Amino acid sequence: MTSRERLTAAVSGERPDRIPWAPELNHYFIRKQFRKQGIDPKSFPNLYLAGNRLVGADMLMGISGVTPHYLATSYPYNDGRIRREVYRKDNREEIRIETPSGVLKQISVTDPVAQTTYVSEHLLKGPEDFKPYLEALESLTFAPDEAAVARQLEVIGEAGIPSLTTPETPIMSFIMYLMGIQETLYCVMDYPDECCEVFDRMHEKYKEFYRALASITVPVVRPFEDTSSSLTSPAMYARYALPYLKEYAAICHEQGKRFIPHMCGTLKDMLPVLRRADLDGGEALTPPPTGDAPAPLIRNLVGSEFVIIGGIDPTRFVVESHRIPDLAREALDSMRGDSRFILGHEEVPPDAPLEAVLEIPKLLENRRY
């Protein structure tokens, strides 16, 4: 089987020729490995595809099927009174959005050592920013980008399958992008009615994004939900995320697509909630020590139809790289015979030794169910 056929079979619950391996790869890790070989990473038309080929993975590649992006920092806006300006200097970027009801500002900083970008000032500071934010968000019109999807499908070929990147639930948008975890949790507790209203209006707009996927013939939808009991309690997640997840899943199912969110946190206490969300699976599901949900536990608590993409804690590639073959073997043995299990994990860290990563395709080469 090709990687595309293998992943397609596993996602559908059919038994492929062997257990697929669909890792995420940190882009800095990929660039670092090619530079070590004297290869300019910019020489590849698609660096992520080249990285997956380098490590022998069955690639799951996120692509966008809709424009513009679903966050209000994107544009063009339909309301001519809304203006977006971007100021860049050195390693600092400021986004400024002016609306009839107020001005929003976000500041991001790129760390040259860590090779990552983080938000130092979030777009939303409190309920006073909800109205201008919604003015910008609700002024977006989402449209399918079939030409871009066709180009991506041609690039991916037989190397794997694409997944459509879609909005996460509104509370996770707040935590990850718009307000940050601390201010979001305080805001939800101090201003529950205002938060419910903004979440509901965001959700209605996000559903427009999901519905715009109807003409896109890609079988998997994968929002980066990042579900974790370290971010919200199960009770809070059930109240503020579960109803929205169910509606996104229903839209995907109406379109004949599988809804498999990225959920990379501590999930053990979340699994009873997730079982009620009508999900088709979860990706980057993480066992201990970083996470707390080994694949067999997920199978027992979520059911036999749920596609599990997980089984390895990616930090082990750095802190216990010599144990990767044993850890992968343990994960595979624990799920022996399970046709809806795909070995996977969050990003391979930048400092992971390539030799440790390459142990996995070696192990899978002759591995059968």
pLDDT > 90? residue 154: yes
Interval 69-73 mean pLDDT: 92
Percent of residues, the chain, with pLDDT higher than 90: 96
pLDDT > 80? residue 367: no
pLDDT > 70? residue 359: yes
Contacts for 201-204 with beta carbons within 8 Å, 24 or more apart?
201/134, 201/137, 201/138, 202/134, 202/137, 202/170, 202/173, 203/169, 203/170, 203/244, 203/247
Percent of residues, the chain, with pLDDT higher than 70: 99
The pLDDT of residue 114: 73
CA dist 264 and 225 (Å) reads 8
Interval 298-326 mean pLDDT: 96
pLDDT > 80? residue 213: yes
Of 45-59, 107-121, 172-186, which gets the smallest average pLDDT? 107-121
The pLDDT of residue 302: 96
Peptide bond just before 76 cis, omega within 30 deg: yes
Interval 67-93 mean pLDDT: 94
Please say whether the beta carbons of 324 and 317 come within 8 A: yes
Interval 64-84 mean pLDDT: 94
CA dist 149 and 316 (Å) reads 34
The pLDDT of residue 365: 86
Interval 85-105 mean pLDDT: 96
pLDDT > 90? residue 152: yes
- Cβ atoms within 10 A of the Cβ of 322, count? 11
Give the pLDDT confidence of 21-33 residue by residue, as tens digits. 999 999 999 999 9
pLDDT > 90? residue 180: yes
For residue 201 the two structure tokens come to 């209006």
Interval 134-139 mean pLDDT: 97
The pLDDT of residue 369: 62
pLDDT > 70? residue 121: yes
pLDDT > 80? residue 159: yes
Closest alpha carbon to 223 in 248, 198, 204, 242: 248
Rg of the chain over all Cα atoms, to the nearest angstrom? 21
Question: Predicted confidence band at 366 (pLDDT cuts at 50, 70, 90)?
Answer: confident
The pLDDT of residue 75: 87
Give the pLDDT confidence of 190-201 residue by residue, as tens digits. 999 999 999 999
The pLDDT of residue 368: 67
pLDDT > 70? residue 38: yes
The pLDDT of residue 260: 98
Interval 155-177 mean pLDDT: 97
CA dist 38 and 49 (Å) reads 18
Tell me what the pLDDT averaged over the chain comes to: 96
Give the pLDDT confidence of 229-266 residue by residue, as tens digits. 999 999 999 999 999 999 999 999 999 999 999 999 99
